[in-house]
Amino acid sequence: MARKGVGITITQHMLQQQRENPEATGGFTTLLNELIVAAKVISREVNKAGLADILGATGRTNVQEEQVQKLDVFANSVIIERMQHVGQLCCMGSEENADLIEIPSEYPKGNYIIVFDPLDGSSNIDVNVSIGTIFGIYKKKSDETNIDMLMNDVLQPGVNQVAAGYFIYGSSSMMVYTTGNGTGVHGFTLYPSVGEFLLSHENIRIPERGKIYSVNEGNDVFWDEKTLSLVNYFKARDKGSGRPYTSRYIGSLVADFHRNLLKGGIFMYPADNKDPNKPTGKLRLMVEANPLALVVKEAGGYASDGNRPILDIQPKEFHQRVPLYIGSREDVALAEDVISGRKDLT
């Protein structure tokens, strides 16, 4: 039996979605296609990182005062270079850039905004653990063109994202994304021999409740009583509710999130008093929490800051951090009840 073609490519899938969307102009598909090229380039570097001189720290710190790895810088520059010429963007926002990134004057501009974490899980680059890229896409609201004024168009609640997703560079490279509005979450695996992302996980749904909890317990001395009671709840023995849950935490948000999306479970990065500059924990609202919150919602899950839906938060500044509870709906709803004080587990 002759082998069929290659299956459904990401381009075919996006064109199908474009045809089903009356307002689609094709600009969005062009934008996403170039982002995919950037991901393929990053994936190639990640896979040969052990060989090339692309490992290790640059010796610099970024706007977040964090060690910048060479691969962070590389991934950031590849995405910016691929995105800036497409003619669909008014600006970009990156975890690695203090300010918004302008579209050079030689290129046409458009009405989309892309925000991204070019390389997530940097601490895992040198130890061959899965890392990723996270992105969210918005539509500009105003007819502003001045880069100094565009921040108001960028700081939109995550519910306004017209698309969001991530790439994960691991044993295989995958792209998982959604265009919101009930279009579902779809996963594509990169076939290096073909150089294409092919549909491998159609309409991903996260189990209502999981059996995995993911949190860095090395921070528990910095947590408040409510956070401790919540984590201890997942660790307590109770046959009826399938507890204790299994602990799985690898230190790459994209890898931890992806596993829990497929298997069910809750990922937590609580507020802690470890660093007075980061009282709401380490993860960023715009480039980490919001994109994954849209993905998990479209897959039937939920994401909260411990008091309300992540997607409802009106951002105040681009690099603001937020506590994150994300994954299976029932587990995250419990977390929100406990952290908000509506439910007392102590």
Catalog residues that contact Mn ion under the rule CB under 5 A: 95, 117, 119-120
Q: Is the peptide bond between 244 and the residue preceding it cis, with omega within 30 degrees of 0?
A: yes
Amino acid at 35: L
Closest distance to ligand AHG from the beta carbon of 255 (Å) = 8
Q: How do strand 57-61 and strand 266-269 relate by DSSP bridges?
A: unpaired
| Nearest residue (beta carbon) to Mn ion | 120
For residues 116 and 154, what is the distance between their CA atoms, to the nearest angstrom? 12
Q: Give the footprint of ligand AHG on residues 209-238 (CB under 6 A).
A: 216
The interface partner of residue 252, options being Mn ion, ligand AHG, none and the CB cut-off 5 to 8 Å by kind, is ligand AHG
- For residue 193, report the phi and psi dihedrals to the nearest 5 degrees: -65, -30
Of the pair 119, 206, the CB lying nearest Mn ion is at: 119
The interface partner of residue 282, options being Mn ion, ligand AHG, none and the CB cut-off 5 to 8 Å by kind, is ligand AHG
Of the pair 90, 176, the CB lying nearest Mn ion is at: 176
Closest distance to ligand AHG from the beta carbon of 123 (Å) = 6
The interface partner of residue 82, options being Mn ion, ligand AHG, none and the CB cut-off 5 to 8 Å by kind, is none
Q: Tell me how far CA of residue 251 lies from CA of 163, 201, 265, 317, in angstroms.
A: 25, 24, 16, 25
Of the pair 189, 216, the CB lying nearest ligand AHG is at: 216
Q: Are 118 and 35 in contact (CB under 8 A)?
A: no
Of the pair 31, 253, the CB lying nearest Mn ion is at: 253
Q: Give the footprint of ligand AHG on residues 229-288 (CB under 6 A).
A: 251-253, 282
The interface partner of residue 251, options being Mn ion, ligand AHG, none and the CB cut-off 5 to 8 Å by kind, is ligand AHG
Of the pair 118, 210, the CB lying nearest Mn ion is at: 118
The interface partner of residue 216, options being Mn ion, ligand AHG, none and the CB cut-off 5 to 8 Å by kind, is ligand AHG
Give me the half-sphere count of Cα atoms (radius 13 Å) on the Cβ side of residue 80.
20
Of the pair 95, 298, the CB lying nearest Mn ion is at: 95
Q: Give the footprint of ligand AHG on residues 8-67 (CB under 6 A).
A: 66
Binding marks (x or -) toward ligand AHG, 122..151, rule CB under 6 A?
xx----------------------------
Q: Give the footprint of ligand AHG on residues 67-126 (CB under 6 A).
A: 95, 117, 120-123
Of the pair 288, 331, the CB lying nearest Mn ion is at: 288
The interface partner of residue 272, options being ligand AHG, Mn ion, none and the CB cut-off 5 to 8 Å by kind, is none
Closest distance to ligand AHG from the beta carbon of 207 (Å) = 21
Of the pair 178, 252, the CB lying nearest ligand AHG is at: 252
Closest distance to ligand AHG from the beta carbon of 293 (Å) = 14
Taking Cα atoms as reference points, which of 132, 178, 174, 175 lies closest to residue 159? Answer: 178
Contacts with ligand AHG, residue ranges (CB under 6 A): 66, 95, 117, 120-123, 216, 251-253, 282
